Chain A
Amino acid sequence: MKHLPRASALSAAAVTLLALAACSTTAPSAEGGGGSDDVATGNGVTDSEITIGMLTDLSGPFAAGAAVQVTETQAYWDQVNADGGVCGRDVTVDVQDHGYDPQRAVTLYRSMAPDVIALQQVLGGPTSSAVLPLAEQDDVYVGGVGWAGSALAYPNNQLPGASNAVQAANAVDYMLDELGVAEGSSIGVVYFAGDYGGDSLAGAEHAAEERGVEIVAQEITSQTTDLSAQASALAQADVAGVVLAAAPTQFASLAGVLSSQGADVPIIGMNPTFNPSLLTTPAADALLANAYSITSISPYANTDAPGVQAANDLYAEADPDGAVGWEVPLAYVQAELLKQALDGACESGDLTPEGVVAALGESSSVDTEGLLPDGLDYSNAGQSPTTTVFISKVSADADAGLELLDQVSGPSAESFSYGG
């Protein structure tokens, strides 16, 4: 390696010279709008086509649910295209799989960013928190990153409904208002380490303070599949209810163990915590007896909402044998939200990534035909777009195992604010 420094120094010098010769710091004059119509266009838009991206997890832990969402999303845009598309253009979806690996997510984002106008979804906590800041720099709309409050810090992010903290605050409110939990009692919060769990805990703590109850917190990780120790600790603390911000596995284990220990208390799971296949586990009885689910998005079984019906029908047609669940309405509404933003950008004549983000920031009352609570307000940056959530009860009779009870917006959910 004796000559290497000399060689590399030489070549570095040569290239520096070349570079200086070819260097320029003056930007060329502004790029001309490419559209034949009066719309300015940018990345991902041609005269006939709009490309949107989806960074999802088709080979990692969320593969199966993600697949449902991909199917539904494809079906949605196919339908939109059949109806004439957006801004006179067909919409195509570029789906890439990051496998829940942040490094892959970032690299794939780099590869897709020049060719898409917006990202309908970046699935997963670590993956979306790696992509969001990059997308913010590039002014690219990002939807579907889940409901963690930390994502609200990014003005380019569109949260599909109430954030986790608002969900958890509502959960506490609901326990006190409807499930007979008395003021002064204790409520357990079992949560994943991370922004999803942490945000939920923050909301629950806020509500506890407002409503005069004690919080007993138990942190777990996704590897904790046996919640005996946590359940015992909760039972020991004599909790009157439990808020769970985890995954289906933990829901079943916690409900089962609590019930077996004779703790007959309501358990409310946050958004993605319920999965219909839980009803085949030994914990099914316990879940049917005590388990509730709070979701930002309408559960699958909601005959009153035309949007949900449209979503379900679309999915049933696209994949008759597919697994049904809350992913179906979620994917539909994410696509719907993006479509509204695209329409907004089209109307304001700026069909560029920046234009889509701007359209998002101006939408202060978005309706989704019952898929999400009405009147979503994205103009108040940094705050949850709504305080209303769906509350359902686990039920063996309802499709996808959740029977919708109500839409609620509790007092402590309404008084919650980020950064406060």
Chain B
Amino acid sequence: MSYLLEQVLNGLSYGLVLSLIAAGFAIVFTSTGVLNFAHGSVVLLGAYLVAVLHPTIGFWPAVLVGMAGSAVTGVLINAVLVRNLADRKPDTAAILMLGVDIVLLTELTRRIGNQVLTLGAPWGASVVRFGDVSLPTGRVLAAGVTVVAFAGLWYLFSRTDLGVGMRAAAADGPTASLMGIRLSRTAATGWALAGVLAAVAGVFLTSFPAPGVAPTVALSAFAAIPAWVLGGFDSVPGAVVGGLVIGLTSALVTGYEAELEPFLGTGFGEVAPYVVMIVVLLVRPSGLLGSKEAVRV
């Protein structure tokens, strides 16, 4: 029983980190209609900055710089590239982001090399025990931070002018701009927010139980795509639900691989998120919490 509980907690805490990334996808998509294939690289960039800077300026300042760096990168990508696309169409924008991803990822990979860059997170390899279940401190912290982050997002989107303006702009850009809401500003805010969330996720994805920053982190952000999609393209709460579902699915499929192997083959944990995603899309084409009008292509 404690084994099941442990796997469930593992899955949920990992799922919350995924939901940070998924929320980034959702925010960028709603604020600018872009499927951000470079999001994984932005996650990696945030973690990389922390890893490189923490020996000189300390961990917490490095995290702040990492968040700022990711945010600025996102804002620049939007301002310099996305807004200047020759065909301002969603599929062109998605391919553009692939190009950006190639450039970012190649350069980061070159810089990281085959080293495992450590993050210098103060929680190290410590664990927290709940009865006979133990969870890495980093994960517990991640869960806490994620909950706080989503509370912050909720506050932003429902209690501040900027957030309400962003929602208005996402719902109907031209009309929002008639209200004096500058779409360039809400878009930049969206990209910045996604960058900050990505950096936070990057920190938790690369600290214990993961050993440090490696280029594969950019790929693990891909696991957040099913989370985003099944939650609903335009829904931040959907990203949370999606992240939890995917985290739980992966953990349980992996944790019970021995029992599932005869039916599903080995390594099904990698595929399970996509299978869940396809099934959800077939049943609810707009995702679990997405709005019907969200078909944007």
Contact = CB atoms under 8 A, between A and B. Distances in A.
B296 interface: no
A280 B114 contact: no
A251 B254 CA distance: 18
B183 interface: no
A130 interface: no
A282 B10 contact: no
Contacts of B148: none
A259 B211 CA distance: 14
Interface stretch (A204-212, A229-237, A334-342): A229-237
B125 A225 contact: no
Interface in B115-146: 115-118, 121, 124-127, 134, 136, 139
Interface stretch (A58-66, A84-92, A151-159, A349-357): A58-66
Contacts of A275: 114-116
Interface in A203-227: 216-223, 225-227
B233 interface: no
Contacts of B117: 277
Nearest to A260: B127
A170 B267 CA distance: 25
A417 interface: no
Contacts of A227: 209
Interface string B1-31: 0010011001100100000000000000000
A410 interface: no
B134 A64 contact: no
Interface string A59-98: 1111111000000000000000000000000000000000
Interface string A237-281: 100000000001101110011011110000000000001011011
B270 A223 contact: yes
Contacts of A168: none
Contacts of A193: 266-267
B208 A283 contact: yes
B267 A257 contact: no
Given A64-B113, A256-B209, A282-B125, A219 B257 contact: yes
Contacts of B257: 218-219, 233
A221 B7 CA distance: 19
Interface residues of A, number: 48
A63 B125 contact: no
A229 B7 contact: yes
A279 to B, nearest CB: 10
Contacts of A230: 254
Given A249-B214, A260-B136, A282-B121, A229 B10 contact: yes
A324 interface: no
B213 to A, nearest CB: 10
Interface string B251-276: 10011111000000011011000000
B211 A63 contact: no
A189 to B, nearest CB: 12
A278 B3 contact: no
Nearest to A61: B215
B184 interface: no
B219 interface: yes
Nearest to B252: A229
Interface in B201-260: 205-212, 214-217, 219-220, 250-251, 254-258
A225 B216 contact: yes
Nearest to A68: B114
A65 to B, nearest CB: 5
A257 B7 contact: no
Contacts of A282: 118, 121, 124-125, 207-208, 211
A283 B10 contact: no
A96 B211 CA distance: 31
Nearest to B269: A229
B106 interface: yes
A285 interface: yes
Nearest to A248: B116
B209 A228 contact: yes
**Which residue, of B126, B127, B208, B217, has the highest number of chain A Cβ atoms within 10 A?**
B208
Most chain B CB within 10 A, of A63, A232, A283, is at A232
B109 interface: yes
A286 B217 CA distance: 23
Contacts of A281: 116, 118, 208, 211-212
Contacts of B6: 232
Nearest to B219: A223
Interface of B: 3, 6-7, 10-11, 14, 106, 109-110, 113-118, 121, 124-127, 134, 136, 139, 205-212, 214-217, 219-220, 250-251, 254-258, 266-267, 269-270
Given A217-B266, A222-B216, A223-B220, 12 more contacts: A61-B109, A61-B216, A63-B114, A64-B115, A193-B267, A221-B270, A226-B205, A229-B254, A236-B3, A249-B212, A278-B116, A281-B211
6 contacts: A225-B220, A233-B255, A233-B258, A249-B212, A282-B118, A282-B208
